[in-house]
C-alpha cells in the first residue's frame, strides 16, 4: 500500500506528510469447514484489517520508521484470527543517494501454551508496570470502573493526578481525561495486555471507531519493569510526569 503520513523529525517532515510503502504478510487459520462451504464469514476479514492499518498510518504521527512498523505489527496481531505477521515499511528517498529506507519486523502471537511456559519461568517474579489511561466519554465514571476492574487483577500502587488534554486528529469532540496508574503483578506482559483489552471491551470500547475518535476507556501498557515499551511516553507530557 502506498500511503501518506507524518513520519520523521526534520522540520519539513513535521509539517508535510511523506510517502510510505507498506507490505505485510499474515498467517491465519483456515478451518476445514470454510474450505468446504466457501463461506467468507468464518475467515479473517482482510478489508477491515486493511482499513485499520490505513487509519493508523494516515491519522498518526511518527518520528521513527521502527515505531510505525511496530504499531502495525501490534495492530495486526491484535486480531483474534492472526497468528503471525511480517511487516515491511519503506520510506522512499529518506536518505540522500538511497532509493528508500525500509524497516522489517515479524512476530508470532504467543499462544496460551507458550504463555504458560513463560509464566512458569517468571512465576516468582513480581513485575511492575505503568499503564496510560484515557477517556472522553463519561471519564469520571469509566475511569473509576476501570480502576475497580484492574484492581481485581493486579495490585495498584499509585494513580497519577488526572489532567485534561485536547483531542488529537479528530478535534470536534470532548477533551480527554488522561493519567496513568502504577501497578505490581505476577502476570507476564502478554497476560496483562490481554486483561487491559478485556477491561476496555467490558467498558464498551468500540474497536471499529476511528483511531483518534471518542472512547469510553483507552489503556496502554507504557512501561514494563522500568523499560519504556510505548513511544507515546516521550510525546505525551502526562505520561512522562507519571513515571513515579
Q: Find residue 211's DSSP bridge partners.
A: none
Q: Highest mean pLDDT range out of 7-21, 83-97, 142-156?
A: 142-156
Residue whose C-alpha is closest to residue 115's, from 25, 30, 188, 218: 188
User: pLDDT-based confidence at 183, cuts 50/70/90?
Assistant: very high
Average pLDDT rounded to a whole number, residues 218-226? 90
Average the pLDDT over 21-46 and give the result: 84
pLDDT of residue 31: 77
Where along the chain do the CATH 3.30.1130.10 domains lie? Answer: 2-109
pLDDT of residue 1: 92
38: Cβ contacts below 8 Å, ≥ 6 apart:
none
Strand-pair partners of 117: none
2-109: CATH topology is GTP Cyclohydrolase I, domain 2 (3.30.1130)
**Fold assignment, 125-241:** Alpha-Beta Plaits (3.30.70)
- Please give the pLDDT value at position 244: 44
**Would you name the residues annotated as active-site residues?**
205, 215, 218, 220
Amino acid at each position: 500500500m502506498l500511503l501518506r503520513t507524518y513520519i520523521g523529525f526534520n522540520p519539513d517532515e513535521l509539517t508535510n506528510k511523506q510517502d510510505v510503502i507498506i507490505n505485510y504478510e499474515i498467517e491465519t487459520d483456515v478451518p476445514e469447514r470454510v474450505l468446504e462451504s466457501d463461506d467468507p464469514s468464518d475467515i479473517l476479514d482482510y478489508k477491515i484489517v486493511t482499513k485499520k492499518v490505513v487509519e493508523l498510518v494516515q491519522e498518526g504521527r511518527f518520528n521513527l520508521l521502527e515505531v510505525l512498523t511496530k504499531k502495525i505489527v501490534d495492530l495486526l496481531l491484535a486480531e483474534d484470527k492472526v497468528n503471525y505477521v511480517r511487516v515491511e515499511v519503506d520510506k522512499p528517498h529518506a536518505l540522500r543517494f538511497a532509493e528508500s529506507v525500509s524497516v522489517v519486523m515479524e512476530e508470532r502471537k504467543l499462544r496460551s501454551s507458550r504463555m504458560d511456559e513463560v509464566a512458569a519461568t517468571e512465576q516468582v517474579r513480581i513485575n511492575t508496570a505503568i499503564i496510560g489511561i484515557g477517556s472522553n466519554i463519561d471519564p469520571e465514571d469509566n475511569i473509576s470502573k476501570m480502576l475497580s476492574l484492574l484492581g481485581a487483577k493486579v495490585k495498584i500502587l499509585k494513580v497519577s493526578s488526572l489532567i485534561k488534554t485536547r483531542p488529537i486528529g479528530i478535534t470536534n469532540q470532548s477533551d480527554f481525561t488522561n493519567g496513568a496508574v502504577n501497578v505490581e503483578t505476577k502476570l507476564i506482559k502478554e497476560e496483562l495486555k490481554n486483561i487491559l483489552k478485556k477491561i476496555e471491551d467490558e467498558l464498551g470500547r468500540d474497536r471499529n471507531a476511528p483511531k483518534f475518535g471518542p472512547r469510553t476507556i483507552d489503556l496502554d501498557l507504557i512501561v514494563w519493569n522500568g523499560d519504556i515499551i510505548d513511544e507515546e511516553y516521550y510525546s505525551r507530557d502526562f505520561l512522562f510526569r507519571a513515571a513515579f
